[in-house]
Amino acid sequence: MKKAFCLLTTFIVLLCSACKNTETSSTATEAHQENTQVQEESPSVQNKLTYSNLDSNASTQEVRSLLTEAGIQPEHVDTVLSWVADYNDSMRDCPSFTLAGDFITVDEMSVDYGEYPPMSTQWFKHNNRNYHDVLCRIVAYELNQDNISIDNVIAEEDFDCWDDNTAWLYTDGDILFGRDAVEGEHKAYVPFPLIDWHKDVQAQYFTLFNPIHTTKQFSPQEMLQAIQEKWASQGISFKESPFSLITFWTQSGDRICASHAATLAETAFGYILFEKTNPEAPYMATKFSSTDEVKRYLYNMMNLDYTRYNEQIGTYAILQNNRLL
């Protein structure tokens, strides 16, 4: 997801982007097929989306209540909401989209926030910012960190964010550590100023999201098994609670990667999914009545960005904590 957001492949990578620890092969395949058939199988009543970009006090307070009532610590929620306020204040005039204040319902199963260049221009040039905004994985980890235990963290030199040509988490590194200028490539970046993660949290983050290397093309079930085996080897476990980490995994060449991450919280009406939709793209809180709707939405959202650049998602797996959603 990489370099200075100037290459097409960089943007595709950036898409970004709750029981047992294993599922049968048929279950994984059925989950994959269900998502790829979303447009044909979804009843018309489900081809609607109720969402907000939290650009009003009412929606912000509603989302805060829903997330804290699900068990997320208020300090984590308030940290993320401060990021939301900062983003909305700086990007409200972006020509690519109109921020939704209160919750609205649209006759679509995804929201198109447009091309990346106008967002980048608004964020960096119009706001004169020398740092990247946080992306989906960082937001999801901030909210879910208390539910995730990691016994065997990787060393800092093994974080997959240092090599500008190969690192999947290169931009994550920009956000957390900053980056020196590279002549002809990009200016210097400072770390995102509203985040304050200790080194141990940074290590846990990269341990969780570092890609998995492989020498073959995986099936959905093999992808799930590889993720679970990697996490098990690192002592990664998840506490069961009304909120959970959602990850959308894809295969990019010889790597299995978390292309997107979000937070799913149980509510009285069903579920609310909270996410940063893309780097420099809006935050979004969306209401659903079932996890099937969540899966359909996530597939449609990812497919929208991939097809925009004539790419295909390919094999994927959507996980809720460490099992298939």
Q: What is the pLDDT of residue 33?
A: 42
- State residue 18's pLDDT score: 31
Kindly give the parts of the chain with pLDDT less than 70.
1-46
For the chain, what are the domain ranges? 8-324
- Strand partners for 211: none
Distance, in Å, from the CA atom of 212 to the CA atom of 254, rounded to the nearest integer, reads 8
- Rounded to whole angstroms, the maximal C-alpha distance in the chain is 53
Work out the angle between the directed axes of helices 291-308 and 25-36 (0-180°, nearest 10): 60
Q: Which two tokens stand for residue 190?
A: 């400072």
Per this entry, what is the length of the chain? 325
Q: Which two tokens stand for residue 62?
A: 């509603």
Whether the CB-CB separation of 173 and 161 falls below 8 Å is answered with: yes
> 52, 63 in Cβ contact below 8 A?
yes
Helix axes 136-144, 74-91, angle to 10 degrees: 160
Q: How far is CA 182 from CA 138, 167, 179, in A?
A: 25, 16, 9
